[in-house]
Amino acid sequence: MTTTEPAETERTRLRRMRHKGSHQRAALDAVLAAGFVCHLGVLVDETPMVLPTTYGVVGDTLYVHGSVASRSLVQAQGTTVCVTVTHVDGLVLARSIFEHSVNYRSAMIYSVPRAVTDPKEKLGALRALTEQCLPGQWEYGRQPSRKELAATTLLALDLNEASVKTRSGPPDDGDSPDAALGLWAGVLPVTPMWGTPVPDPLLSPRVGMPAHVLTRAGTPVDRTSHGSSR
């Protein structure tokens, strides 16, 4: 699958914290690969509405599940939306409150969504959404029927207008006069972890837990090298 480099436009040009920004496609892919929830900003009655939803990626396209926001997405047809994916990596505890910060990785994508109508593309998008959440689940679960597919609204967003911002590393006041205060400073990391799977109470005890679920328990949600090496 080929990918194209995201374009730098007026709105993705990084006016602030330019050193923290990137337009590299690899950086975008890394942020998208590290999670499964985005925040979708759509214009509804001339006001932005920010909705959390899951996403999937196929090549140069990000897919979101339309049903989470039917009303807003109907209104948003033909207008530009903004999708932001954020991973919080830690609190940056400086000597001064003023220098406190957050270590994070964040991607922002602008696109005019396209409604997916082709059943084959819909199937591929749902597969990507499912596998983004939990690899192995698409093949394991009962895949959508033709009727279910028809009842599913999916939106396709082009990844070619995007930017990535990150902050990592220690606080910035280690060489300031505040260093003499003798206060502890450093980073308190944050890592989303998978917990112990909870079987559906209606599940027969004879049904075993599949390996792709079982092996997740106690591991970081972020499977990218960033998530596992921290």
Q: Find the distance separating the first CA and the last CA of the chain, reported in whole Å.
A: 29
Give the nearest distance from C-beta 131 to a copy of itself in angstroms. 11
**Interatomic CA distance for residues 111 and 44, integer angstroms:** 16
CA distances from 79 to 10, 41, 43, 125, 195 (A): 17, 11, 8, 21, 39
Among 23, 31, 110, 154, indicate the residue that binds a copy of itself (CB under 8 A): 110
Choices 8-16, 26-34, 56-64, 113-121 (CB under 8 A): range interacting with a copy of itself = 8-16
Judge residue 47's burial from the number of C-beta atoms within 10 Å of its C-beta, 0-12 exposed, 13-18 middle, 19 or more buried: exposed
Residue 212 backbone dihedrals phi, psi, to 5 degrees? -70, -20
Binders of a copy of itself among residues 13 to 52 (CB under 8 A) are: 15-16, 37, 39-52
Binders of a copy of itself among residues 165 to 224 (CB under 8 A) are: 170-171, 174-175, 178-179, 181-204, 206-210, 213, 216-217, 221
Does residue 226 bind a copy of itself (CB under 8 A)? Answer: no
Name which of 115 and 217 has its Cβ closer to a copy of itself. 217
Name which of 2 and 117 has its Cβ closer to a copy of itself. 117
Choices 7-15, 23-31, 56-64, 114-122 (CB under 8 A): range interacting with a copy of itself = 7-15
Among 3, 24, 75, 84, indicate the residue that binds a copy of itself (CB under 8 A): 84
- Number of residues forming the site for a copy of itself (CB under 8 A): 100
Q: Which of 193, 199, 212 is nearest to 141 (CA)?
A: 212
Residue 79 backbone dihedrals phi, psi, to 5 degrees? -110, 160
